[in-house]
Structure 1
Amino acid sequence: MGGRWGLGTDGRSGGAADLGLWPHNPGNWGPPPASQGSGQGAVGWGVRSTGGGCGSVTSGAPARPGGCGPLDRAQAAKNKGNKYFKAGKYEQAIQCYTEAISLCPPEKNLDLSTFYQNRAAAYEQLQKWKEVAQDCTKAVELNPKYVKALFRRAKAHEKLDNKKECLEDVTAVCILEGFQNQQSMLLADKVLKLLGKEKAKEKYKNREPLMPSPQFIKSYFSSFTDDIISQPLLKGEKSDEDKDKEGEASDVKENSGYLKAKQYMEEENYDKIISESTKEIEGKGKYMAEALLLRATFYLLIGNANAAKPDLDQVISMEDANVKLRANALIKRGSMYMQQQQPMLSTQDFNMAADIDPQNADVYHHRGQLKILLDQVEEAVEDFDECIRLRPDSALAQAQKCFALYRQAYTGNNPLQVQAAMKGFEDVIKKFPRCAEGYALYAQALTDQQQFGKADEMYDKCIDLEPDNATTYVHKGLLQLQWKQDLDKGLELISKAIEIDNKCDFAYETMGTIEVQRGNLDKAIEMFNKAINLAKSEMEMAHLYSLCDAAYAQTEVAKKYGLKPPTL
C-alpha cells in the first residue's frame, strides 16, 4: 500500500471547508473558476516520535525510568502498529491499534481519531468493509472534518453497496479537498452515475407518458423531408368528420382511423393520434403500415420506446410496404437505439435504411447526426454532403454540416478551418434566412469564439422566427451568465422559457444547475425533480437524477458537517 493512502499522523484535514460541489453535468465536479485552496488532508505514514521513548505493552520495549503517561503508551502502540502495517502484518497491526485506542485518554480526540482511522486502514487491507466503516465512523465522530477517514468510509460504503452513504461521504471529501483530488472526484462521479441509472430504471418503467409541447413536435417532424406520415392530407383524404371542410368529405370512400389521426395532427390535436392509429391497425385497414409508423412515432415522442419498437419492427419487416415507410422506421429505430446507448444496433439500422432507399435524404441527414455523436466527424460531413446533394434545399443539413466542420476545427485547434467554418455559417443564414436552426448553431459557435454580442443577435433572430421555442430562451439566458455575469437577466430568460413551454425539461435542468451555484439547494432539487418527470428517455432521466442526487448530498453534508458550497 503506497504512501498516498497510508496512515494519518494527527487526523487534521485541510481548511478548504467552504468549497462546494458544482454538478453542471455528470462528471463535472469542479469549483467555479476562481482561486481556490487545495484543502489537502494529512497524508503519509505518520510514524511520530513519542518524545518520551516509552515502550508499549505489546512491543516489549522497556519504559523510561520515571514512568510514562497513557498518551505516550498509546503512541508507542500506534507506532508499533505502523511497523506491522508496513510489513503487511495486518492482524498484528490491528492488535496494536486496538491497544492504542484502549490506552488513549478519551479527551484526546485527534489522537484517538487517528488510531481508529489507522485500524480502519488495516481492516481495509483484510477487506473487512463493515469494520472499516465502523472505525471510520468513530474517527469522524471525534474529528468531523477528517478527510482520510471520510474517504476511507466512502470506499467501504461503495463495497457494501451503500451508495447514498458513499455519496455523502465523498461529497464532503470533495468539498474539504477543494476538488484537488482526482480519485475522490472520480468516485463521486461513479456513484452518481450508478445511483442515477438505478433510480431512472425504476422511475422510467412506471412513468406516466407525457405528450411534449406542440413546438417540440413540430421541430421533430421538421427534421424529416421524406416522411410520408408527416405530409399534409390530400384533398380526397379528408376525414368525413371534418365539419369545416364541407364538400370534401364526400370524396372519402372509407372511415379511416389513420386519416383521422392525420387530420388531428394537422390540427395539433396530438393526444388523439395514438388511439385513432390503433383503430386503423386493429381494423387491418389499407393504411395499416402508415398507422403503425405514425403510432410508433408518437410512442417515441411520449417516451414509450418499449411500445414503439414492436410497431417499428413490424413496418420494417413489411417487404410489400412503401420503401420510404420502411426507411423512415429504420431511421427512427436507429435513433431510439442511440438514445439507449446501443450504437452498433443504431449504425446497422441506418446502414440498412441507406441500402433499401439510397435516394432518401433523411437517412444521410440523421446518420450524419449519429456520426457526430460517435465522434466520427469526417463520415458525418460525408453524410451531410450526400443529403445536400439529394436535397439542395435542406437548410438543416447545411447548418449541421457547418457545425460539424466547426467542432472538428475547434477541437483540432486549427484557426484557418475555424475561420472557414464561421464563413460557412454566414453563407447558410444568408441562403436560408428562415432557418432558425442555422442561427442557433451559429450562435453556439460564436459563443465558443467569445463573440458574445453577435451570438446574442443570432439568438434574437431565432426567437423572431420561432417565438414559441423555449430552448432558444434557455440558451440566450446562459449566454447572459457567460457574457455579462448577469444572473438576473439569465434567470429571467429561463423563466420565460418555462412560461412559454412548461414541459421544457432543459429549462428546469438549467434553472436547477444555477440554483445549485447560488446555494439554493432545495430550489435546485425542486427544479431537477420537475425535469425528471419530463425526461424523454431513461438515459436523460439518469443524468437528471445524478444532478438531483448531487444537490441532495450537499444538503446532507451541510447539515452534518456545516460544509457549504460557494455561491454566485
Structure 2
Amino acid sequence: MAASKPVGSQADTGVSRWQLAVAIGGSALLGVGVFYLWNRRSVSKRNERKAPEGSSSPVPKEGSDGEENRADSQSILDRAQAAKNKGNKFFKAGKYEQAIQCYTEAIGLCPLDQKQDLSTFFQNRAAAFEQQQKWKEVVQDCSKAVELNPKYIKALYRRAKAYEKLDNKKECLEDVTAVCILEGFQNQQSMLLADKVLKQLGKEKAKEKYKNREPLMPSPQFIKSYFNSFTDDIISQPLLKGEKPDEDKDKEGETADVRRTGRSGYQKAKQYMEEENYDKIISECTKEIETKGKYVAEALLLRATFYLLIGNAAAAQPDLDLVISMEDANVKLRANALIKRGSLYMQQQRSQLAKQDFNTGADIDPQNADVYHHRGQLKILLDHVEEAVDDFDECIRLRPDSALAQAQKCFALYRQAYTGNNPLQIQVAVRGFEDIIKNFPMCAEGYALYAQALTDQQHFSKADEMYDKCIELEPDNAATYVHKGLLQLQWKQDLDVGLELISKAIEIDNKCDFAYETMGTIEVQRGNLAKAIEMFSKAINLAKSEMEMAHLYSLCDAAYAQTEVAKKYGLKPPTL
C-alpha cells in the first residue's frame, strides 16, 4: 500500500543492513533501487612483517656508538624473530602450548621500540590462544597488539571474534567496524560477522524495547491506506442502516450509556472511525465485548485491527483467535481475521503459519478477493512471484475494479522480469503500468509502483512525474515525499532538495518511521553520525513490529559503532 515502505526494500534487495548502515564500499541501496556512487578508498593489505621502525635511517659511520647500539638491538631482534619462527613451526604442527612458549620468548626479547614486530608477536600468541579457545587471553594479547599498531587488521579481527565468543557484542561490533573500514569493505568474511552481530544486537534490544513500549496510534493517512487495502472487510465499511439502533432489542444487561445514546459500543466505534477519532475505538469495542452485545465478533475484529495498528501484537492475537474460532460468525469476518493473523505471523517470520492462515481463508471464503490479494503480497515476500501473480489474477477476477491488485500484479511481473534480466518482459510490464494509470487514474499506488520501476530503468524524469501525480492524489502521504527525495539524490545528486523533501515528509507526518530511517541513513553517509543516531532513535520509537524495530536498532548500532571507532582510531569511512 502507498503508505508503507517500498515493495522490495530491505528483505529482497540482497543488501545487508550492515551495508545499508555504513553505506560504503561501492553502491549502497536505499529504498526504491536508489543508490549512491562513492569514491572507494583502496586499502592495501598490511604486511605483518614490515621492517623495524627506523630501518630506513642513514647508517651511522663505522665504529660509532650508534652502530654498536644498532647492532646489539638487531642481534636481540634477530633472536626474537628466531623464537617467533620456531613458534610458527609448532603452530603449524598443532603444538599450541609450545608455540605459545616461543611467542612469549619472542615478546620478552623484542626491543620495546620495535613496535611493529612486537605487535606481530602478540598477535601470533593470540592466534595460538584462539586454537585453545582461551578467549580472554586472545583479547588481552590482541589488545596489546592493537596498542602498538592501532590499524592492525588481523589483531582487530581476531579480537572481534574473541569478543563474540565472550558475548561482548558491543566491543565485537566496534572492532569489526574498524576492520571493515580498513579493508575498504571488500572482505566478505568481516562484513558477514558485522551483519551477524548487528542482527543479534538488534533482536536483543528490540525484544526488550518492544515489550515495554508505549502503544502509538499511526497517522490518519496510514490508517486509511491500511483499510483501503481491503475490499471485503465488513468492519471497514461505513455504518449501514442495519447497524442503526435496534429498538426491538432486549435492553436487559445493556449499560446506561447504551440506553442513553441508543448506540452500542461497536456502533460508536464505527462512528469514531468515520470521524477519524481513532484513539477511542479500542475502548468502545471493549465495551461491546464486555456487555456481550450484538456485535461481539465485529468488535473483537475491529479491536484486534487497532491493536495491530498500534503495534500491540500480543493483545491482537487472542482477539483474532476468538473470531476465527466462531463458526457461527459471518464468514467474511473470520476470513478477514485469518488474513490479519497470517500477516502477523509473517511479521514474526513464521511464514508456514502465515501460509496456513491464508489458505484456510481461501477455503472458508473462496469468493473473498482480499484473501488472494494479501496472499499474493505474502508470496512476493517469499519470492514466489508466479504464485503471487496467480493470486492477484484471482483477486482481479473477483474484483475487476481492484486497481490496487492490478498495480501490484504488474509490479510483480516487472520484478520477475527485472531480476531475470528479461528486457522484453520488462517492456511488457512497463506497458502494463501505462494501461493501469490510464484505466485507474485515481489510484495513487499505480503511479507509485510505476515510479519505482521507472527509477530502476533510470527514467528519472518520468519517475519524478509519477511521484508528483501521487502527491497530487494523496498530499498527506509522507512516504511519497521520501521516495521523491531519494529520486533526487540518485537522479541529480541534489542532496539539499532530497533532504528538503524528506523533511517535508516528517512535517506532514511526524509518525513516519520510513522518513526518519531514510534521513538517518543519509546522515550516516554524510558523516553526521550524531544526527543519524537521533533519526534512527525516533524511527525505533515508531516501529510497528518487533522485527522492524530490530532492523532499526541494527542501523543505529552501526552508526554508534562508527562514532566509537572514530574516537579510538581516527577511522572514518568516506562521506557523501
| Fold shared per TM-score above 0.5 | yes
Deviation at 1:236, TM superposition (A): 5.7
Give the root-mean-square deviation of aligned CA atoms.
2.3
Q: Which position in structure 2 is the counterpart of 1:159? A: 165
| Alignment equivalent of 1:256, drawn from 257, 264, 277 | 264
What is aligned with 2:20? 25
Q: What amino acid does structure 2 have at the position aligned with 1:456?
A: D
Equivalent residue runs for 1:79-478 within 5 Å: 79-235=85-241, 237-238=243-244, 254-478=262-486
CA distance 1:318–1:22, change in 2 (3 Å)? closer
Per-residue CA deviations over 1:529-554 (Å, capped at 9, x if unaligned) read: 00000000000000000000000000
The 1:366–1:252 alpha-carbon spacing in structure 2 relative to 1, beyond 3 Å, is farther
Partner of 1:36 in structure 2? 40
Look up the match of 1:74: 80
SS at structure 1 position matched to 2:20: coil
The structure 1 segments of at least 4 consecutive aligned residues displaced by more than 4 Å after TM superposition are 21-24, 26-29, 43-48, 65-68, 250-254
**Is the Cα contact below 8 Å between 2:203 and 2:547 reproduced in 1?**
yes
Question: Equivalent residue for 1:246?
Answer: none
Equivalent residue number for residue 528 of structure 2:
520
Contact 1:22 1:29 in 2 (8 A): no
> Structure 1 residues 178, 494: closer, same or farther in 2, change over 3 A?
same
Secondary structure at 1:71's aligned position in 2?
Answer: helix
d(CA) in 1 for partners of 2:143, 2:244 = 72
The alpha-carbon deviation at position 254 of structure 1 amounts to 4.5
Match of 1:14 in 2: none
TM-score (norm 1): 0.89
Unmatched runs of 5 consecutive residues or more in structure 2? 1-15, 28-36, 56-70, 247-257
The answer to whether the Cα contact below 8 Å between 1:117 and 1:149 also exists between their aligned partners in 2 is yes
Any gaps of 5 or more consecutive residues in structure 1? 1-20, 52-64, 241-249
CA contact (8 A) 2:18 2:191 kept: no
Task: Compare 37-46 and 428-437 and name the one that shifted more.
Answer: 37-46
Which amino acid is 1:121 matched to?
A
Kept after mapping to 2: 8 A contact 1:377/1:408 = yes
Contact 2:49 2:120 in 1 (8 A): no
1: distance between equivalents of 2:139 and 2:443? 58
Is structure 2 residue 519 aligned with structure 1 residue 511?
yes
Does the 8 Å contact 2:288/2:295 carry over to 1? yes
Instruction: Verify the 8 A CA contact 2:25 2:40 in the aligned structure 1.
Output: no
Q: CA 1:423/1:309 → structure 2, altered by over 3 Å: closer, same or farther? A: same
Shift of the alpha carbon at 1:68? 6.9
Instruction: Compute the TM-score of the two structures, normalised by the length of structure 2.
Output: 0.88
Q: Which amino acid aligns with 2:432?
A: G
Size of the aligned set, in residue pairs, is: 525
- Residues 38 and 87 (structure 1 numbering): CA distance in 2 closer, same or farther, change over 3 Å? farther
TM-superposed CA distance for 1:238, in Å, is 5.0
Instruction: Tell me which amino acid in the other structure corresponds to 2:427.
Output: Q
Q: Write the deviation string for residues 101-145 of structure 1: whole angstroms up to 9, x where unpaired.
A: 111111111111110000001111111111011000000001111
In the TM superposition, what is the alpha-carbon distance from 1:34 to its structure 2 partner?
3.5
In the TM superposition, what is the alpha-carbon distance from 1:255 to its structure 2 partner?
Answer: 3.3
Higher RCO (CA-CA < 8 Å; seq separation 6+): 2
In the alignment, the residues of structure 1 paired with residue 222 and residue 79 of structure 2 have an alpha-carbon distance, to the nearest angstrom, of 72
Code of the aligned partner of 1:393 = D
Q: Is the 8 A contact 2:23 2:525 kept in 1?
A: no
CA distance in 2, matches of 1:221, 1:387: 17
Letter in 1 for 2:354: S
Determine the C-alpha separation between the residues in 1 that align with 2:423 and 2:187.
34
Contact 1:446 1:454 in 2 (8 A): yes
- Matched residues in 2 for 1:505 and 1:162: separation? 29
Within 1, Cα distance between the matches of 2:511 and 2:72? 79
- C-alpha contact (below 8 Å) 1:337/1:343 kept by paired residues: yes
Secondary structure, aligned partner of 1:25: helix
Q: Write the letter of the residue equivalent to 1:39.
A: V
Q: 2:544 aligns with which of 527, 531, 536?
A: 536
Q: Deviations over 1:333-370 (max 9, x none)?
A: 00010011000000000000000000000000000000
- The change in CA–CA distance for 1:40 and 1:188 in structure 2 (over 3 A counts) is farther
- Quote the Cα distance in structure 2 between the aligned partners of 1:36 and 1:360: 52
Contact 1:36/1:178, CA 8 A, preserved across alignment: yes
Q: CA separation in 2, counterparts of 1:447 and 1:437?
A: 15
CA distance in 2, matches of 1:66, 1:550: 48
**Compared with structure 1, are the counterparts of its residues 90 and 434 closer, same or farther at alpha carbon in structure 2 (3 Å cutoff)?**
same
Q: Is the partner of 1:39 in helix, strand or coil?
A: coil
